[in-house]
Amino acid sequence: MSEKLQTLIIEDEELARNLLRSYLKDQPDIEIIGECENGFDGVKAINDLKPDMVFLDIQMPKITGFEMLELIDHKPHIIFTTAYDQFALKAFELNAVDYLLKPFSKDRMLAAIEKVKHHIQNHETNDEKLEELTNLRPGEGFIDRVVVKDRHKIHIITVDKIRYIESLDDYVMIYTTDGRHMKQKTMKYFETNLDPKNFIRIHRSYIVQVDNIAEIQQYEKEAYIVILKDSAKTKLKISKSGYKNIKEVLHF
Amino acid sequence: MKHPLTNNYRLLGYYALFWFVIGVINIVLQVIWYNVPLIYSLLDTGTNYVLYPLLGSSIWYSIRYNSLEEVTIGRLIIFHFIAASILCGIWVSISYAIFQPFITKEKHFLKDGLPPKILGGYVMYAIYLVFFYAVNYYESLKEKIKKEGEYKSLIREAELQALKSQINPHFLFNSLNSISSLTVSNPEKAQEMVINLSTFMRYSLMHNEKEMVSFSRELENIKLYLSIEKVRFGKKLNAEFEIDSHCLEAEIPNMILQPLFENAIKYGVYETTEQVTIKSTCECDGNVLKITIVNDYDASTIKRRGEGIGLRNIRKRMEIIYNQPDLMKITDHKTSFEVQLIIPQKQALS
């Protein structure tokens, strides 16, 4: 390889960054093009700098390494680093992505870099693996929040702010108390990862937050709609199986 | 179970006294009221109220091996009828043998007295049966209560053990990673951190043996814990303490504070990029020590789920130790999170 490997470090702890830097210092074919202290900066840096390789910490303030994966347009080769996270490890093993367990040795890190170089030489990408990884999360219970990116701004939506979700082919539109956000995820993902006590799949195209339902109206024989609690009184169709789901959650 | 009379000398004493009193009353009545010759009265009393009680005490064994729960009623009645017959047979025979030398003339008295004596023997057997069953029941009940108490304290112990906080592996590995980094950049600091970490670990292991410690000791440990975390988080973590010096003598459950600080770091410090202050205040009035820990948090990124497992364990631990509820109060001020512990004191703090 003639060119140096453009490397980005995303790690919230200074000491951990120092260690990585000192390990990489004497590697002639590696160039550190940036360091980020949190996930927000990390997403921006990956999209702007388009690194070849990223050392990515999982547990970080604001947004986690996993959530970052959902927001990046450019998919570099990623070496995950984590101290202790059973769910992350399970996800890594299922997807055979490389990861470093802190504290790790220099040799272990170099072995991981060798693998990345090998992938690059063979023009292998790990886009699919990363995609699967984001769908595997959260592992532990239901999700608390959803991260979305509109143009250049990242929003963190805590699930209590979600009013309803509408399916748009490969995307979903998430309607929140302050607006709406598009995200590349499936309805299936939200159906399985949002707490079913609070979110009901009422239709192939809709998932509704229970507290946001104002009333359920019958407009034809065996055809119902929900009316939401907003000023526009949004009306959403209910399918047959959706009606069953609503009945189950609301006990009527 | 041993025989209640030989096992419990007090009961034996009462038993002897009871029959002695009955015997004396019998003699007095017979001699004074019925003008029975003293020698006959003594013989009568001796066989009825000394010999029978001696023989009757063996009835215990007949009930011991015929528990009411395990044997059918029919078998029970047959068994006791046979046992009563044998006992009465022995008793009447011995009584006869004792009477024989003294009664020379009116032998028919002995013959006439036989049916009521045998009947009396059976009645006495029945009374003994009831008595021993009652004793047996009482003894097993006592044993059961004792065992239950033992079980309860065992369960309490086990529960307490389970609720005690374990060192979070996440904390441990992150600290080790910091040390690993420091060995390169600042070996002296690395050494200091290894020592701090060891001291902290030792303290947390010690709490398996000791339930209560002084507040000052616990506080020292917390400061140690924070100093380790401070190496990781740098100026992002800011801890402030406002402690009344006369509270330091208070007694407090071991390692009860560390999970609170761990929580504050997890939700406060870890989730933001700005500096977070964890402020601890404490006051003691009369017989309680109140510790309040407040940390800021970023409400836009996390939805606090109220009481996590760490806090719930502390609440339960407090409940078990002090046997009263609501010693932990949680208040979510939306931008800050407050936990208050109320720790009752045996002795008033001066």
- Is residue A103 less than 8 Å (CB to CB) from chain B? yes
Output the CA angle A151-A152-A155, nearest 5 degrees. Answer: 90
Cis peptide bond upstream of A103, omega within 30:
yes
Give residue-wise pLDDT tens across range A212-244.
999 999 888 888 999 999 888 899 999 999 999
| Residues belonging to chain B with any Cβ–Cβ distance to chain A shorter than 8 Å | 169-170, 172-174, 176-182, 184-185, 231-234, 270-273, 300-303, 305
Domain boundary pick from A106, A136, A166: A136
Contacts of B2 (CB under 8 A, 6+ apart): none
Q: How far apart are CA B19 and CA B184, in angstroms?
A: 91
For B90, the 3-state DSSP assignment is helix
* A63, A34: one domain: yes
pLDDT given for residue B44 in this prediction: 84
| Contacting residues of B for A160, CB less than 8 Å apart | 303
Cβ A15–B181 below 8 Å, yes or no?
A: yes
For the ranges A29-33, A136-140, B178-182, B346-350, which has the lowest average pLDDT? Answer: A136-140
* Same structural domain, A39 and A110: yes
The model's pTM is 0.70
Give me the residue from A16, A37, A38 closest to B177, CB to CB: A16
Please report which helix (H) or strand (E) contains residue A198, including its range. none
Q: How far apart are CA B118 and CA B126, in angstroms?
A: 13
Residue B331, C-beta contacts closer than 8 angstroms, at least 6 positions apart: B337, B338, B339, B340
pLDDT for the residue B113: 77
A100: which chain B residues are within 8 Å (Cβ-Cβ)?
A: none
Residues A166, A131, single domain; the answer is: no
Confidence label for B38 from pLDDT (cuts 50, 70 and 90)? confident
Q: Are residues A178 and A227 in the same domain?
A: yes
**Chain B residue with minimum CA distance to A147:** B301
C-alpha span between A123 and A3 (Å, rounded): 15
Buried residues in B226-244 as b, exposed as e (16+ CB within 10 A): bbbbbbbbeebbbbeeebe
In angstroms, what separates the C-alpha of B282 from chain A's closest C-alpha?
30
Structure-token match 């304290």, residue found? B153
Q: In this predicted structure, what is the pLDDT of residue A1?
A: 47
Tell which of A15, A68, A87 to mutate to test the B interface (max B CBs under 10 Å). Answer: A15
Asked if A206 and A93 sit in the same domain, the reply is no
- The 10s digit of each residue's pLDDT in B160-176 is 777 776 788 889 999 99
Across-strand partners of A22?
Answer: none
Half-sphere exposure of A2 (CA within 13 A, CB side): 0
Q: Is A38 on the interface with B (CB under 8 A)?
A: yes
Q: Which pLDDT band holds residue B43 (cuts at 50, 70, 90)? A: confident
- How sure is the predictor about A16, in pLDDT bands with cuts at 50, 70 and 90? very high
The chain B residue lying nearest A86, using CA atoms, is B170
Give the model confidence (pLDDT) of B230-273 as tens digits: 999 989 999 999 998 889 999 999 889 999 999 899 888 888 88
CB-based contacts of B73, cutoff 8 Å, min separation 6: none
Residues of A in contact with B231 (CB under 8 A): 15
Residue B306 pLDDT: 60
Query: Cα–Cα distance between B348 and A142 in angstroms, integer?
Result: 47
Whether residue A26 is found in the same domain as residue A122: yes
What total of structural domains would you count in chain A? 2
Is residue B17 very low, low, confident or very high in pLDDT (cuts 50, 70, 90)?
very high
Other C-beta atoms within 10 Å of A125: how many?
12
pLDDT at A148: 92
Which residue is associated with the tokens 């970080």?
Answer: A60
Poorest-pLDDT segment among A126-140, A150-164, B178-192: A126-140
How far does CA A12 lie from the centroid of its chain? 18
Tokens standing for residue A240: 């047959």
Residue A144, in any domain of the structure: no
A174 and A119 housed in the same domain = no
Instruction: Report the candidate in A67, A54, A151, A133 with the shortest Cα–Cα distance to residue A97.
Output: A133
| A239 inside domain | yes
Give the position of tokens 């939805």.
B303
- The ipTM assigned to this model is 0.81
Q: Does A60 fall in a domain?
A: yes
* Nearest partner of A109 among A27, A215, A221, judged by Cα: A27
A8-25: b (≥16 Cβ within 10 Å) or e: bbbbbbbbbbbbbbebbe
A191 part of a folded domain:
yes
Q: Which residues of A touch B180 (CB under 8 A)?
A: 19, 102-103
Task: Judge whether B318 and B216 are in contact, CB under 8 Å.
Answer: no
pLDDT digits (tens, 9 = 90+) for B55-100: 888 888 888 777 777 778 888 889 889 999 999 999 988 888 888 8
**Any domain includes A115:** yes
pLDDT of residue B240: 95
Nearest to A14 among B169, B184, B234 (CB): B234
Residue contact A18–B300, C-beta within 8 A:
no
Q: Which of A82-96, A110-124, B170-184 has the lowest mean pLDDT?
A: A82-96
Distance of CA A59 to the CA centre of its chain: 13
Does residue B198 come out as left (phi exceeding 0), alpha (psi in the -120 to 50 range) or beta?
A: alpha
Q: Do A132 and A196 reside in the same domain of the chain? A: no
* A77 & A169 share domain: no
Residues B42-64 have a mean pLDDT of 86
CA distances for A201 relative to A194, A217, B267, angstroms: 10, 17, 31
- Which of A16, A62, A159 has its CB closest to that of B181? A16
Structural domains of chain B in order of their starting residue, each with its CATH number? 4-162 (no CATH), 164-344 (3.30.565.10)
**Of residues A19, A84, A144, nearest to B184 (C-beta):** A19
> In this complex, do A85 and B170 lie within 8 Å of one another by their Cβ atoms?
yes
- Are B303 and A38 a contacting pair at CB < 8 A? no
Sign of CA dihedral A50, A56, A59, A61: negative
A151 within domain boundaries: no
Judge contact between A180 and A173, C-beta under 8 A: yes
Check pLDDT > 80 for residue A2: no
The distance of A203 to chain B (nearest Cα, Å) reads: 27
- In whole angstroms, give the CA distance from residue A91 to residue B332: 33
Phi, psi of A231 (to 5 degrees): -65, -30
CB nearest B184 (choices: A14, A22, A102): A22
A59 versus A90: the higher-pLDDT residue is A59
Q: Are the C-beta atoms of residues B224 and B217 closer than 8 Å to each other?
A: no
Residue A143 forms part of a structural domain: no
Q: By the 8 A CB rule, do A81 and A104 touch?
A: yes
Distance in Å, alpha carbon of B231 to nearest chain A alpha carbon: 8
Angle, CA of B92, B98 and B101, to the nearest 5°: 130
- Residue A211's pLDDT is 92
pLDDT in tens, B199-234: 999 988 876 667 789 999 999 999 999 999 999 998
| Residue-number span of the structural domain to which A190 is assigned | 157-250
Q: In whole angstroms, what is the distance from residue B318 CA to residue B160 CA?
A: 9
Residue A56 CA to residue A239 CA, distance in Å, equals 43
What CATH code is carried by the domain that includes residue A65?
3.40.50.2300
Taking residue B220's Cβ as centre, other Cβ atoms within 10 Å add up to: 15
Does one domain contain both A167 and A126? no
In the prediction, which pLDDT does B208 show? 64
Co-location of A200 and A241 in the same domain: yes
- CATH number of the domain that residue A240 is part of: 2.40.50.1020
pLDDT at A80: 92
Q: B169 and A62: CB-CB below 8 Å?
A: no
Report percent pLDDT > 70 for chain B. 95
Query: Which residue from B minimizes the CA distance to A105?
Result: B180
CA dihedral of residues B178, B181, B183, B189 (deg, nearest 10): -50
A118 and A174 inside one domain: no
